[in-house]
Amino acid sequence: MNKRGVNNWRVICFMGLSLICFLLLFPFSVNSEESYLVYFLFVTFLYITLAQGWNVVAGYGGQASLGQHAFFGLGAYVTAISWKAGWIGILIL
């Protein structure tokens, strides 16, 4: 690889790491309870994680499984019920 290719690779790695650091530190720099952008990024990354799980099972494994979606829904249901009942603090501890 020539000198220019190595420099391009370093720039790309630096930009990628800078973006990751920005996305990790962004929620701490704004009021996360009232920021729509933090909510939007959270939901987006949550669905990206769910889609990647589906990609691994169905895409690479060739299996049609809805198990991870069932556990995702069950976790959301249990969290909502416990939040409404006031048990979420007990579950976190």
User: Tens digit of pLDDT for each residue in 69-91?
Assistant: 788 888 888 888 887 887 766 65
Q: Give the integer Cα–Cα distance in Å for 93 and 79.
A: 14
* Residue whose tokens read 């990609």: 55
- Residue 92's pLDDT is what? 62
Angle 43-44-46 from CA coordinates, rounded to 5°: 60
Q: Give the integer Cα–Cα distance in Å for 47 and 41.
A: 10
Q: In 2-71, where do the E strands start and end?
A: none
Average pLDDT along the chain: 80
